[in-house]
Structure 1
Amino acid sequence: MAAAGLPDKVPSRTELPAEITIWEVGPRDGLQNEKSVVDVGVKLEFIDRLGQAGLRTIEATSFVHPKWVPQLADAAQLLAGLSKRDGVRYPVLVPNDRGLDRALEAGVSHIAIFASATETFAQRNLNRTLDSQFEMFDPVVTRAREAGLEVRGYLSMCFGDPWEGPVALKQVVSAGQRLLDMGCSQLSLGDTIGVATPGQVEALIAGFSSPDALAVHFHDTYGQALANTLAALQCGVSTVDSSAGGLGGCPYAESATGNLATEDLVWMLDGLGLSHGVDLTKLVATSAWMAGKLGRPSPSRVVQAVFDQG
């Protein structure tokens, strides 16, 4: 008999995906709203260290206009100086057709677009309505696929919006499905302000026909990022976005705190016996090194624990 308030059965580890893809967003999402511009040489070493640690998907930068995100104004220079590792992909975020032009010029093979599940955030972030944002993205995805690129769709504000409050599940599913139907091979569901809970995560994933094309992207504002990640894994999602050292937030949503720390994710995955390919010791050292470059401690609990014990 289960204890009061607990289910009679909880999913076992055999019901979780056997292998997890970690989509590392530290170099792009993690650094994009740093107030001081990080030297491109530091960014390149950061990316290389992440590759050495075993990460196989490292989102390198974005071709957003420098006016909006000055930190990423060096995107072309960074990609030109990147020492690519075999078996590692380096996606870049593109906001529009011009961003795609620059990505193609740089010879990238994977891109991502960034859409909103809410009207207000679409207007504030993209200067588009909820519906008209898809008119902007459609030719980008079509051209990218015709050029042989893989395309990922990010969908922000999937659980809550700082201006609109809770977001209706049907609205999120509708927006996400439009990105998949457009030609995105993967859809990353973003808890941009970190308000989701595991039950909401399960309900949203169940709204899609299959978890196979889904990824999750959690922020830890209310300390729920790992719990939400586990809920997503139990629903069959096998790709998780995270940021080395817990870097990042969202420059357009002031209440958003850092991303799920990659070290914290790896610690949990190791405890579940799930394969991910990352060397935790090297990853912790990389995040500690980057924290030193930024002049502040890493917010990752695992990084803090390792150095407190050391």
Structure 2
Amino acid sequence: MTTLPMTVREDGLPARVTIYEVGPRDGLQNEAALVPTEVKAEFVTRLVAAGLPTVEATSFVHPRWVPQLADAGDLLGLLGDRLGEAARDLPVLVPNDRGLDRALELGCRHVAIFGSATETFARKNLNRSLDEQFAMFEPTVRRARDAGLEVRAYLSMCFGDPWEGVVPVEQVVAAGTRLMDLGASQLSLGDTIGVGTAGHVGALVAAFGAAGLGPDRLAMHFHDTYGQALANTYAALRAGITTYDASAGGLGGCPYAESATGNLATEDLVWMLDGLGVEHGVDLDALVDTSRWMAGHLGRPSPSAVVRARS
């Protein structure tokens, strides 16, 4: 018999949340061994079939910086063959205008930009200062919106930075509101090195609310470096957040921050949501099977607690 959590519904939690699956992009980008394009296409296809409503497919970053994603165009071609018109709705990360050009050429309808809440990481990741990054993103977001595309903004280092330490809440809010003012429709707050705690999550959400960005426009992107990702997710649920980034099997990290270990595992998130009676629409068995399959291709066990327990 398959083990399932007992459902105990709590007052004050959202009835339903959206899981924004980042495994194919954020999960695989830091893998040293190149994953074949056909395997990536199968990975995305399986994740979509498991009921994940949003699956971020890839990034149009320069291949010199992230070699793993150099096959972005070929991957989207394969996904078009497999998923048809729906492949155009898979989000892709575009670091700049050149990346947007490629996304537009391939008919993508959903793009994301990736900013930083700190000066040091902006320079390391974008080769721009904290202020200069907004000038770089402005034409990209404007052109994307003019073309009718949905634009998401990621903000990294929202809870801590390995070079600068604790990042003041007001600094994060200032950077996040500037990204949204460019025209993005959703802001994903990244705990890039996994140092956030539950109280910090609540304080950050409240500060954004005071600045005019309510939980309906925010998403959370937690890493489990210090084992806090699920606790932080619960705190965000209590604060009204209804979109959560997660990576199938707990894959991923950031190639420009060595302390940024794996993302929150999608399976672990689904297990907790099931126990809380929060709807999400994902088939856990299909998701676990997919992560086990990908772990086989990567040649190592999945870091997801749920995948390990079911194996």
What's the TM-score once normalised by structure 1's chain length? 0.94
Displacement, 1:86? 7.4
Displacement, 1:13? 2.1
CA distance in 2: counterparts of 1:194 and 1:151, whole angstroms:
25
Residues 27-176 of structure 1: pairs in structure 2 closer than 5 A:
27-82=24-79, 83-84=82-83, 89-176=89-176
Residues 17-28 of structure 1: pairs in structure 2 closer than 5 A:
17-28=14-25
Displacement, 1:16? 1.1
Aligned to 1:300: 304
Q: Which runs of 5+ in 2 are unaligned?
A: 1-8
String of CA shifts for 1:87-143, please: whole Å, max 9, x gaps. Answer: 784100000000000000011000000000000000010000000100000110000
> CA contact under 8 A between 1:59 and 1:91: conserved in structure 2?
yes
Query: Which runs of at least 4 in structure 1 moved beyond 6 Å after TM superposition?
Result: 85-88
CA distance in 1: counterparts of 2:36 and 2:105, whole angstroms:
22
CA distance in 1: counterparts of 2:292 and 2:266, whole angstroms:
13
What's the TM-score once normalised by structure 2's chain length? 0.94
The one-letter amino acid of 1:166's match is: V
1:260 aligns with 2:264: yes
Give the aligned length.
296
Aligned to 1:3: none
> CA contact under 8 A between 1:51 and 1:85: conserved in structure 2?
no
Helix, strand or coil for the counterpart of 1:14? Answer: coil
Displacement, 1:15? 1.1
Aligned to 1:212: 216
CA spacing shift, 1:99–1:85, aligned 2, 3 Å: same
CA distance in 2: counterparts of 1:243 and 1:76, whole angstroms:
22
Displacement, 1:14? 3.0
CA distance in 2: counterparts of 1:263 and 1:178, whole angstroms:
33
> CA contact under 8 A between 1:56 and 1:87: conserved in structure 2?
no
Displacement, 1:84? 2.4
Aligned to 1:7: none
CA RMSD of aligned residues (A): 1.1
Helix, strand or coil for the counterpart of 1:84? Answer: helix
CA distance in 1: counterparts of 2:14 and 2:180, whole angstroms:
22
String of CA shifts for 1:240-290, please: whole Å, max 9, x gaps. Answer: 000000000110000111000000000000001011000000000000000
Of 282, 285, 307, the residue aligned with 2:289 is 285
> CA contact under 8 A between 1:25 and 1:242: conserved in structure 2?
yes
Aligned to 1:15: 12
Of 239, 246, 250, the residue aligned with 2:243 is 239
The one-letter amino acid of 1:245's match is: G
